[in-house]
């Protein structure tokens, strides 16, 4: 019986030594933005060389310096309001896992200077169609919309005012003589 226990214990030790430990790390990263590179699924950060900023996919926030501090915002600084995220190059940071990608900022800035473009990137999603309200719906300096201004102009030039007709231009009626 003692021999059986020793053999069983030896087998267990041998099994434990030969067994490899497997570590599984799961990082909950959401889908990349539509303008993000298609090869970046599962990545948490991009570095945007043209604007010297980072994008955090998980929080959907840009990280950039403002007033000497690193800030997290849902938008880029005002000076980049016309920056095209679809055409700008995004460096996919595959090798960084943490909360402060800017700890490597100087290295990223040297390696990927403004205007840097590596291999052509395909975006994750499609560029949305530009949707602008009709021209006459934009407010003007005086707060009136173009449609309001047009109505004011028409009132001044012959539309029915004070109960008088506008010289026969109403509903296809011509001047009668």
Q: Enter the pTM of the model.
A: 0.57
75: Cβ contacts below 8 Å, ≥ 6 apart: 62
Coil vs helix vs strand at 12: helix
The rounded distance, in Å, linking the Cα atoms of 44 and 49 is 16
3: Cβ contacts below 8 Å, ≥ 6 apart: none
3-state secondary structure 24-73: CCCCCCCCCCCCCEHHHCCCCEEEECCCCEEEECCCCEEEEEECCEEEEE
- In Å, the largest CA–CA distance within the chain is 131
Find the length of the chain: 177
Encode the chain (177 residues) as per-residue pLDDT tens digits: 777 666 766 666 556 555 544 444 445 456 789 999 987 778 899 999 999 999 999 999 999 999 999 999 999 999 998 999 999 999 999 888 889 999 999 999 999 999 888 888 778 777 777 654 444 444 444 444 444 444 444 444 444 444 444 444 444 444 444
């Amino acid at each position: 019986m003692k021999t059986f226990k020793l053999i069983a214990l030896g087998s267990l030790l041998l099994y434990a030594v030969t067994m490899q430990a497997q570590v599984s790390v799961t990082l909950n990263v959401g889908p990349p933005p539509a303008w993000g590179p298609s090869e970046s699924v599962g990545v948490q950060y991009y570095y945007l060389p043209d604007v010297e900023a980072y994008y955090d996919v998980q929080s959907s926030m840009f990280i950039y310096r403002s007033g000497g501090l690193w800030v997290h915002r849902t938008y880029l600084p005002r000076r980049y309001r016309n920056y095209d995220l679809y055409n700008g190059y995004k460096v996919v940071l595959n090798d960084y896992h943490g909360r402060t990608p800017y700890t490597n900022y100087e290295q990223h800035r040297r390696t990927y200077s403004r205007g840097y473009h590596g291999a052509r990137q395909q975006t994750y999603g499609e560029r949305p169609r530009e949707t602008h309200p009709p021209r006459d719906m934009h407010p003007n300096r005086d707060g009136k919309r173009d449609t309001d201004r047009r109505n004011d102009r028409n009132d001044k030039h012959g539309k029915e005012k004070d109960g008088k007709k506008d010289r026969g231009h109403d509903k296809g009626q011509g001047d009668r003589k």
